[in-house]
Amino acid sequence: MRHADFRVRKDARDGTPLFDQDATFCAQPGRAGGGGVTLASYNIAGHHVRHFAEAVHIAVPGGSHAFDAAASYDQDVTWAVASPWAP
């Protein structure tokens, strides 16, 4: 998983430093609380993994793209972490 043109996608690793940076996301406490996690882009400061309009982007609140919309930003960048073996 890496970002390119602000879209998160699954690409085969190409061995470049840029790919490695694009594929690095730093876990932070969830912006919406509740025990979730927010994933911050390693190489684009202030951008977080966000689901928006049935796609996944790296976004910044209030930025210039539609997926940067401030409405529900904290909820959209907070991901629940659960064990795949949980009942």
Look at the pTM and tell me if it is higher than 0.85. yes
What confidence tens digit (pLDDT) does each residue in 49-73 have? Answer: 999 999 999 999 999 999 999 999 9
Q: Are 24 and 42 spatial neighbours (Cβ–Cβ below 8 Å)?
A: yes
What CA–CA distance (Å, rounded) separates 20 from 14?
A: 9
What confidence tens digit (pLDDT) does each residue in 29-45 have? Answer: 999 988 899 999 999 99
List Cβ neighbours of 3 (8 Å cut-off, separation of 6 or more). Answer: 9, 22, 41, 44, 57, 58
Q: Residue with structure tokens 């609380």?
A: 33
Q: What is the mean predicted confidence (pLDDT) over 5-32?
A: 96
What CA–CA distance (Å, rounded) separates 68 from 60?
A: 5
CA dihedral 66, 3, 21, 81 (to 10 degrees): 90
